Amino acid sequence: MSLTPFERDIAAQPEALRAFAHTDGLPGLTALDPGRYDRIVLTGMGSSHDAALPTWRRLAGAGRAAWWVDTGQLLDTPELVTDRTLLIVTSQSGASGEVVSLLAAQPRPATLVAVTNDPASPLATAADLVIALHSGDEATVSTKSYLNSLAAHDLLAATLTRTAPADVLAVAKVVEESGADAGLAPLARQLVAAGHPRLAYVGFGDYAATARYAGLITKEGAKMAAEGFIGGQFRHGPLELAGPGLLAVLFGADDPAANASLQRLAADLTGAGSAVVAVAALDVPGAALQLRPPAGVLAQLAHGAVAAQHLTVALARARGITPGAFAYGSKITTAL
């Protein structure tokens, strides 16, 4: 079976990460001083916004006044951006409708940082500092650009918190070794054949970014209703979706001690008859599939994203559709 454009993009992710790792230094990045600003606002749409979630958590953990709010919401609350704000906008295209509208808003932030793949985009042109993704062209659903956005944000967060960034070349090797698990295809067929199929992704902490990303690309790439939940959100109502016909994919750390809440949720879900895939260090008797994460948060985020991509491919094939092909949307969303 020949690879679709979506699958070719998945396969190209290690090289895209290496391209980012081998870029020249970013003039102006090390000069960013978070103490100069009254607040730091991180914004974007879709998977671009999801990639910034770990950065927000690191800034908040360092005691910085930081907001993580999608650009649509930011347009509704423009007062959040002041002339003393460090505004970090992540947009793979740099030309989405919300981002272009935000660039025209007033007041202008003290510093605008763009994380984008297009250095000629409206976002890059307006920015004071551009962190280029170097992820290359992308055919359909976000793959290379998402992983490179994670790498860019790791570098940005390390700069702002004065900590060491991850080894992106080591992460590229992890991604290269993260193939499609043989257990995904039968799981996908089982879910598609269920009378009332439900699909939920759950992640605590930084891994909530993966859960949200997974929910988005499953809808885009497999045309299947799915949702990504941040931490305990799933217990507040969505838990009633548990039982036969629910596939729950749980993302977490490589340290069991950090996954206590995820462990309890996994036990409750399997006890209710749900199928559970654990992309975390969990001990889940009866789990449908266990994918052990690598060491290092950035590597774990990339590994989880790749697992979600391969599950999306398996679900699309089980449904008899082309993985990643858009039916109604497009690569760049310009309409508001």
Closest among 209, 214, 175, 178 to 291, alpha carbons compared: 178
For 112, the token pair is: 């605008």
**Residue 24 pLDDT > 90, yes or no?**
no
For 314, the token pair is: 């398996």
- The amino acid at residue 313 is V
**Residue 333 pLDDT > 70, yes or no?**
no
- Whether omega for the bond prior to residue 165 falls within 30 degrees of 0, making it cis, is no
Domains (range + CATH), the chain: 5-174 (3.40.50.10490), 178-319 (3.40.50.10490)
**Residue 331 pLDDT > 60, yes or no?**
no
- The amino acid at residue 311 is L
Closest among 108, 109, 87, 107 to 42, alpha carbons compared: 87
Give the whole-number percent of the chain exceeding pLDDT 70: 97
Residue 122 has a pLDDT of 97
**Residue 329 pLDDT > 70, yes or no?**
no
User: What is the DSSP code (8-state) at residue 305?
Assistant: H
In whole angstroms, what is the distance from residue 212 CA to residue 226 CA?
10
**Residue 305 pLDDT > 80, yes or no?**
yes
Residue 334 has a pLDDT of 63
Q: Please give the model's pTM, rounded to 2 decimal places.
A: 0.95
Residue 332 has a pLDDT of 61
Q: Return the minimum-mean-pLDDT range out of 23-27, 163-167, 218-222, 257-261.
A: 23-27
Type and span of the H or E element at 155? helix 144-161
**Residue 265 pLDDT > 80, yes or no?**
yes
Torsion from C-alpha of 23, 27, 33, 38, nearest 10 degrees = -100
